């Protein structure tokens, strides 16, 4: 028997639809979405095809995009309806997502049942037809030909159960109670392991939020994220900041490269000459665009506090700041911290990582903290495994296995995991080098 699939975070809407459809309704609700859209879709099978899928209300853009794309791949031609909740920006969602119709969550029962019968099931490409379902002010229309004005009219109704809140910098959050995080990985000088940290952080966070993580190689001239991940991108950073990508989110998405572990990348320019054309302003706009779609945006910056690093730090909610067990790197980090404090550009949350830590340098963690003036949060031991990992193009957290480096990197990832135990996420815990 044919059935309708509902993917939503609204128990109120589920109960209402259950009353109309009974056992013909299959649901994927909030708890199942906790590990990300990809994990939620894994419970479906190609054989158990629904006749229609409803997405929402109370889903984030990133969730709706990945779910609709995944459903179209699993069930080619499936009719997908976006259930609007009155949220601002939904007109952009409807125009960009691979959905065929939009329905107000406040539509009457009669209109809702009519919508379930009349939303087109696509044989291949989206059909260019318009459907009008009358029922007071409630209308369902084919999204291929729907105008921005009519979208705004259709999405007026009762507000979502879980309203989108705002980040401190004024940008829109991705989901109910979950804020998008921009994590800038910085160091005062080169050779401190920024790319190693950034790539492993992306792998670790992708395990928490599959397809909701993007890593940006913001070392415009000499970025090597692609090499560190064994990727051969067709499009790179200059493409991601082009006029077309800046104006169209779908063009931007096409410039991203997917890593096998479930996160996206904006790889560095193919040559220093190409990278030199990328401005700090363009990078800032790119980060802003990505933060509206992804839960985690990781930015691997160029060494020091140049134009691009400052652009990333200005947009960042978190800064992962690296130093080594050498006097020069410690003094460099202290200078960086002082400059950022002077210009009031210190991100809300700071995570100091002591890389290449050992007991043979003649310095202790307390010596490092006394020099830089702030606590060390994570110490990553010096190990040949890091060199092997870099040469193979396989991050340590991707390779798996138990070792001190993987344990330290996992500890860094846990600092960004909202589901981690509070004691694991506590800031500035005393660090000891083994």
pLDDT tens digits for 20-74? Answer: 888 888 888 877 776 667 667 777 776 678 888 888 888 877 778 888 888 877 7
Q: 92 pLDDT band (50/70/90 cuts)?
A: low
pLDDT value at residue 282: 92
- pLDDT tens column, 279-308: 989 999 999 999 988 999 999 999 988 889
Query: Rounded to an integer, what distance in angstroms lies between the CA atom of residue 434 and that of residue 274?
Result: 43
pLDDT value at residue 425: 45
pLDDT value at residue 9: 84
- Pull the structure tokens for residue 434: 């083994």
Q: Which residues lie closer than 8 Å to 248 by C-beta, 6 or more apart?
A: none
Residue 5, pLDDT > 70, answer yes
Q: What's the residue count for the chain? A: 434
Q: Which residues lie closer than 8 Å to 384 by C-beta, 6 or more apart?
A: none
Query: Rounded to an integer, what distance in angstroms lies between the CA atom of residue 256 and that of residue 238?
Result: 12
| Cβ burial 145-177 (10 Å sphere, 16+ → b, else e) | ebeeeebeebbebeebbbebeebeeebbbbbbe
User: Is 282 exposed, middle or buried (CB count within 10 Å of its CB: 0-12, 13-18, 19+)?
Assistant: buried
Residue 91, pLDDT > 90, answer no
pLDDT value at residue 284: 93
For residue 284, is the peptide bond before it cis, meaning its omega torsion is within 30 degrees of 0? no
Query: Rounded to an integer, what distance in angstroms lies between the CA atom of residue 405 and that of residue 407?
Result: 5
The closest alpha carbon to 126, from 142, 115, 140, 149, belongs to 142
DSSP 43: T
Query: Rounded to an integer, what distance in angstroms lies between the CA atom of residue 407 and that of residue 151?
Result: 49
- Pull the structure tokens for residue 409: 């990197």
Residue 231, pLDDT > 70, answer yes
pTM (whole model) above 0.85? no
Residue pair 268/185 in contact (Cβ under 8 Å)? The answer is no
Given the DSSP bridges, would you call strands 181-186 and 296-300 parallel, antiparallel or unpaired? Answer: parallel
Query: Rounded to an integer, what distance in angstroms lies between the CA atom of residue 338 and that of residue 336?
Result: 5
In the chain, what percentage of residues exceed pLDDT 70?
77
pLDDT value at residue 42: 74
Residue pair 332/188 in contact (Cβ under 8 Å)? The answer is yes
pLDDT value at residue 178: 55
The closest alpha carbon to 184, from 54, 299, 285, belongs to 299
pLDDT value at residue 35: 65
> Which range (1-10, 20-29, 342-351) has the least confidence?
1-10
Q: 152 pLDDT band (50/70/90 cuts)?
A: very low
Please write down the long-range contacts of 17-23, taking CB distance under 8 Å and 24 or more positions apart: 17/54, 17/112, 20/109, 20/112, 20/113, 21/116
Q: Which residue has the tokens 């984030």?
A: 60
pLDDT value at residue 190: 86
Dihedrals φ, ψ of 130, to 5°?
Answer: -115, 135
Query: Rounded to an integer, what distance in angstroms lies between the CA atom of residue 264 and that of residue 213?
Result: 6
Q: 141 pLDDT band (50/70/90 cuts)?
A: very low
Query: Rounded to an integer, what distance in angstroms lies between the CA atom of residue 199 and that of residue 257?
Result: 14
CA-based diameter of the chain, in Å? 78
Given the DSSP bridges, would you call strands 181-186 and 318-323 parallel, antiparallel or unpaired? Answer: parallel
Give me the domains of the chain, ranges plus CATH numbers.
4-154 (3.40.50.2300), 181-425 (3.40.50.300)
Q: Which residues lie closer than 8 Å to 411 by C-beta, 6 or more apart?
A: 378, 424
Q: Where are the beta strands (DSSP E) in 39-180?
A: 52-55, 80-84, 101-104, 141-142
């Amino acid at each position: 028997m044919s059935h309708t699939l509902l993917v939503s975070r609204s128990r109120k809407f589920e109960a209402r639809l259950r009353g109309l459809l009974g056992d013909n309704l299959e649901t994927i609700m909030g708890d199942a979405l906790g590990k990300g859209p990809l994990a939620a879709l894994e419970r479906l099978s190609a054989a158990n095809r629904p006749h229609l899928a409803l997405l929402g209300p109370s889903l984030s853009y990133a969730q709706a995009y990945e779910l609709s794309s995944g459903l179209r791949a699993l069930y080619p031609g499936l009719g997908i309806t976006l259930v609007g909740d009155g949220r601002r920006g939904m007109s952009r969602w409807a125009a960009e997502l691979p959905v065929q119709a939009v329905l107000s969550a406040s539509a009457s029962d009669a209109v809702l049942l009519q919508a379930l019968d009349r939303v087109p099931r696509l044989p291949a490409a989206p059909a260019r037809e318009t459907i009008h379902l009358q029922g007071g002010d409630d209308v369902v229309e084919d999204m291929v030909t729907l105008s921005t004005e009519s979208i705004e009219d259709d999405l007026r109704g009762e507000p979502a159960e879980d309203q989108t809140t705002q980040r401190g910098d004024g940008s829109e959050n991705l989901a109910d109670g979950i804020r998008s995080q921009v994590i800038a990985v910085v160091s005062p000088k080169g050779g401190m392991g920024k790319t190693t940290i950034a790539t492993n952080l992306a792998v670790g966070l992708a395990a928490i939020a599959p397809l909701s993580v993007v890593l940006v190689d913001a070392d415009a001239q000499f970025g090597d994220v692609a090499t560190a991940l064994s990727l051969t991108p067709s499009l790179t950073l200059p493409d991601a900041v082009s006029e077309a990508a800046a104006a169209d989110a779908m063009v931007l998405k096409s410039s991203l490269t997917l890593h096998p572990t479930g996160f996206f990348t904006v790889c560095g320019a193919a040559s220093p000459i190409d990278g030199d054309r990328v401005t700090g302003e363009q990078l800032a706009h790119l980060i802003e665009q990505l933060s509206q779609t992804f839960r985690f945006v990781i930015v691997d910056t160029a060494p020091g506090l140049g134009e691009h690093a400052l652009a990333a730090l200005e947009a960042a909610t978190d800064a992962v700041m690296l130093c080594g067990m050498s006097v020069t790197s410690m003094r460099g980090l202290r200078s960086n911290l002082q400059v950022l404090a002077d210009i009031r550009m210190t991100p809300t949350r700071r995570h100091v990582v002591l890389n290449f830590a050992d007991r043979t340098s003649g310095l202790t963690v307390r010596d490092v903290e006394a020099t830089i003036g702030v606590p060390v949060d994570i110490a990553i031991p010096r190990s040949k495994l890091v060199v092997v990992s870099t040469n193979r193009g396989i991050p340590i957290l991707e390779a798996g296995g138990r070792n001190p480096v993987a344990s330290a990197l996992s500890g860094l990832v846990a600092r960004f995991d909202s589901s981690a135990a509070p004691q694991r996420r506590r800031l500035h815990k005393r660090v000891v080098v083994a």
